[in-house]
Structure 1
Amino acid sequence: MRTVLFLVVFTLLVGALMAGLMRTDPGYVLVYVGEFAIEMSFWTTLILVFLAISMCSGLVVFARWLMTLSHIGRWWKNRRRHGDQRRMLEGLHAYSLGVWDRAAQQLIDANDASFAPGLNLQFAARAQAFNGDLDRAKTTLKQLKLAHPDSIPAADRLLADLLLHARQNVEAEQVLWELHGNAPTDGEILVMLVEACVRNNSRAKSGDLLAALGTATNITSASKQELQQSLCHSQLSQFVDHLAEGRDTRDALNERWDSIPRRFRKVPEMVAIYARGLASLGCVEEAKGVLIKALSKHWHSALIEQFGAIQHPVFEQDLVRAEKWLVKRPTDVDLLIALGRICRGLKFNIKASDYLQQAADLHSHPLALCELAELKAVMGDVTASAALYRRGLQMALSNSKKGPAS
């Protein structure tokens, strides 16, 4: 600013001097430019030349000042960008620590200056959902889809994941079927879709899902088999539950069992469900035979649990067989519970109580405690029964808190 003021004052002084010189008229200079002739005094010409040089110098100084202003603008812009980057880093740090409300706010505030604004909003939406505000997370994802149309598939995929996490399985399945329609071979979508269908007990399109899993990409063969097994397990379990309601027959059960791929029919959990279906149709001996054959090949808790669950009818030979198993596996809690159930079915209440007490002493299994509590009530020991029910309930609640959230 001082330079500009100096130039103004200097120009005024030179102008005054020029006016004085023009009155004295010491001589003149004639300049021809094309058809025009310009006549002026020598001193005037000298002053004009000097003024022209001064104006050029002033323009240079002014240009440099403007460049300084642009530097200030860039500095201010960089300062804002650095501030937004700092907020983004703070938001990601809060996200890693599980401080969901702060993470969501910081990530949204830093979104405009982020090099990946769509990713910022996705993290923010997940933080909002984890903070218990799923509606706000949905709003954030809608903003993401409006601002970045190319992020619509990613936003819908994230929405489905958040809905599954919040146990809103019906809405999650609807979103995932739409995503599957647009990307039928995407393995990540199929993984979530299988989970949603299993939770919702959806049977209508299970066959389509099994076929789609065969052509799925970006998942391993082991994962494909696991998902197929999960679907088959869900289908068979639902079918057997309907058998208990008298909706189907033995032929229908066998047809359903035969439709399951052979490799899955050897899985213990699947065999246990099939045996449960046979027992519900009254084919108790056949169900026990299936379980005994499977146990001879592969000892599994699901098989022995189902063997003990078949109560009508129960024969002493079942007790003899289970006690022979116990000789080789004296600390098997599932076997002890099964023996307790078998003894109770035979009205051997004291023996049943001994087996169930052993199971409870080996491992505070909620099922063992509840079975023993029920037996104690039948035997008239109401006080012990109430204490065991309370202990079993506390154990079940403790196990549910230790389990992973899903």
Structure 2
Amino acid sequence: MTLFWRLLALLALAILGAWAWQLLAADPGYVLVTLRGYSVETTVVVALAAIALAWLALRIVLWLLRLPFRYWKKRSRRVARERLAGGLVALHEGRWARAEKLLGRAASDPALRLPALLGAARAATARGDAAQADALRQRAADCGDAATVALLDAERLAREGNHAAVAALFDTLPGASLPPRAVELRMRALAATGRASDAVALLPALRQSQLLEGATLHAFEAQISAAALTQAATPELLDERWNALPKSLRNDAAVVGAYAERAAAFGLEESAAGAIEHALKKQWSSSLPGIYSRLPRGRRASPLKNAERWLEQQPNDPALLVALGRLCREEQLWGKAEDTLHRAIAQGAGADAWEELGHTYAAQHDDTRARQAFANALRAARGDAPQSLPGRGLRDLIRDEAVAEERTPMGMPRLPGPE
């Protein structure tokens, strides 16, 4: 309100007060009160003033009478808040008994009862008292939302690996009432119990909740989507789920790998290979060449040329070298397979490379080196140092460990280290 309008309002009030005073001065009114022979005579103005003073005195008396109770209530609430704060700190520090004690006392305040009981139930669960934890959860359920309380049971069941019980627990509750953490636990349980397609339907709700963001959200979406593809029962259902994915997930290595393996199981080798080839054009991933090399040949052309082209771009990738060695073995290019696999081992490949090398030697009926290669695969799997194969000199070892020069897309040499 501007200064002009304020002054105008004050002037109007002054005029109204003067007019009212004129009316009362001309006729102040008459009030007569009689009670048991006593009478009181006064004007209306005095009567109204007396009533206002009596009402004010009554309010003061009531305030004074309620003051001790208000002080006690305020003090109790302050003590309850202090206990809640102390209990949460003790819960964070792992002082389970102290946390349960403080939080149980803090539950005496109705406003703090639900969070205090939930924290006390967590403390009881952490110290292994299942009966006490169930009792505290039941008390919390009596005063809180069922979905919030069910979250405690779901977290306990998830830690125990009982995903079926987690899924059944949330199936009985309305999906719209689930808190974000409950939505995440339900999705993980659904994916683990063969119902990943139902979990995919909950992805929009998870995004909206902002429980997970950025790379963490993308990784979780990829995990759920890959599970849905793996659990597809028919080729038609697999294609339907694959085509429904956004482009960002259809280029994700985990999702592409799951689709390729499931498509290959249905005899769709060309679709599986095409998905991997398209994904590797967009972004390189060391996990896909191995899947690509294990796909059945079917009617498609030899994948060896694609692997060799990828090797020009990623000459020192151990997983790609193992995949290339496997493809060379299938083409019966024994010498090239041996050289590639030895180079893969020198670049850091482990048991898979040794096992593939053993298959290469076995295919050539070189039983001695095949047995030693398989033995080295077991040693590598256990973390032990492998034994050198006979017939390989220092020049071979140097050639294996030589790192090929990598170049950027502009043709410039790529220096080692972070880009």
* Counterparts of residues 39-54 of structure 1 (less than 5 Å): none
Q: Deviations over 1:132-151 (max 9, x none)?
A: x4xx3464143232266224
Question: Which position in structure 1 is the counterpart of 2:316?
Answer: 331
The equivalent residue for 1:194 is: 187
SS in structure 1 at match of 2:106: coil
Aligned residue for 2:142?
A: 149
Deviations 1:19-65 (A, max 9, x none): xxxxxxxxxxxxxxxxxxxxxxxxxxxxxxxxxxxxxxxxxxxxxxx
Corresponding residue of 1:385: 374
From 276, 284, 299, the counterpart of 1:291: 276
1:255 counterpart (240, 253, 272): 240
- Count the aligned residue pairs: 298
1:104 aligns with 2:96: yes
C-alpha distance in structure 1 between counterparts of 2:303 and 2:197, whole Å = 39
Contact 1:322–1:335 (CA under 8 A) maintained in structure 2: yes
Q: Describe the shift of the 1:224–1:299 C-alpha distance in structure 2 as closer, same or farther (beyond 3 A).
A: closer
Unaligned regions of 5+ residues in structure 1, if any?
A: 1-73, 243-247, 396-406
Asked if 1 retains the 8 angstrom alpha-carbon contact of 2:206 and 2:212, the reply is no
Instruction: Provide the C-alpha distance between the structure 2 equivalents of 1:297 and 1:256, rounded to a whole number of angstroms.
Output: 21
**In the alignment, residue 255 of structure 1 is paired with which amino acid?**
E
Per-residue deviation at 1:171? 1.0
Structure label with greater radius of gyration: 1
Distance 1:354 1:155, change over 3 A: farther
Summarize the Cα distance change of 1:284–1:180 in structure 2 as closer, same or farther, 3 Å threshold.
same
Structure 2 residue 209 is matched with structure 1 residue 217: yes
**Quick one: which amino acid aligns to residue 164 of structure 2?**
V
| SS of residue matched to 1:363 | coil
**Residue 171 (structure 1) aligned with residue 165 (structure 2):** yes
The one-letter code matched in structure 2 to 1:292 is E
Unpaired segments ≥5 residues, structure 2: 1-71, 385-419
Could you say if the C-alpha distance between residues 113 and 289 of structure 1 is closer, same or farther in structure 2, counting changes exceeding 3 Å? closer
Report how far residue 255 of structure 1 moved.
Answer: 3.4
Amino acid at match of 1:235: A
Partners of 1:369 and 1:392 within 8 A in 2: no
| Alpha-carbon spacing, 1:176–1:120, altered in 2? closer, same or farther (3 Å) | same
Pick one of 327, 341, 365 that aligns with 1:342: 327
Contact 1:316 1:346 (C-alpha < 8 Å) held by counterparts:
no
Kept after mapping to 2: 8 A contact 1:122/1:141: no
Mark the CA change 1:330 to 1:224 in structure 2 (over 3 Å): closer, same or farther. Answer: closer
Change (3 A) 1:262 1:297: closer
Distance 1:285 1:394 in 2: 37
Counterparts of residues 237-256 of structure 1 (less than 5 Å): 237-239=230-232, 242=233, 248-249=234-235, 251-256=236-241
Which deviates more, 359-368 or 196-205? 359-368
Look up the equivalent residue of 1:273 and give its one-letter code.
A
2 CA distance for matches of 1:172 and 1:324? 47
Percent identity for Structure 1 against Structure 2 = 22
Tell me if the contact between 2:293 and 2:323 (Cα under 8 Å) persists in the aligned partners.
yes
CA gap of 1:304–1:90, structure 2 versus 1, over 3 A, is: same
User: Which residue of structure 2 aligns with residue 44 of structure 1?
Assistant: none
Partner of residue 224, structure 2:
231
Give the letter for the 1:234 counterpart: A
Structure 1 residue 327 displacement after superposition: 2.6
**Matched residues in 2 for 1:362 and 1:344: separation?**
19
Shift of 1:358: 2.9
Q: Which amino acid aligns with 2:137?
A: L
Find the aligned partners of 1:252 and 1:218 in 2 and give their Cα distance.
30
Q: CA deviation at 1:339?
A: 0.9
Cα drift, residue 348 of structure 1: 3.7
Indicate if the aligned counterparts of 2:227 and 2:258 stay in contact, CA closer than 8 A. no
Relative to 1, partners in 2 of residues 1:207 and 1:298: Cα closer, same or farther, differing over 3 Å?
closer
Judged with a 3 Å threshold, the aligned counterparts in structure 2 of structure 1 residues 368 and 104 are, in CA distance, closer, same or farther, namely farther
Which residue pairs with 1:36 in the alignment? none
TM-score of the pair, normalised by structure 1: 0.59
Residues 227-272 of structure 1: CA deviation (Å, up to 9, x unaligned)? 5544332211211xx4xxxxx34x4543343333455334343333
- CA displacement, residues 118-172 of structure 1 (integer Å, 9 cap, x when unaligned): 54554454455556x4xx3464143232266224543311221222222111111
2:153 corresponds to: 159
Q: How does 1:386-401 map to 2 (within 5 A)?
A: 386-394=375-383
Alignment-mate amino acid for residue 154 of structure 1: T
Name the CA distance, whole Å, in 2 between partners of 1:191 and 1:357.
44
Match of 1:352 in 2: 337
> For residue 33 of structure 1, what is the aligned residue in structure 2?
none
In 1, the alpha carbon distance for the partners of 2:258 and 2:141 equals: 48
Q: Distance in 1 between matches of 2:372 and 2:124?
A: 48
Which of 251, 267, 287 lines up with 1:282 in the alignment?
A: 267
**Which residue of the partner structure matches residue 348 of structure 2?**
363
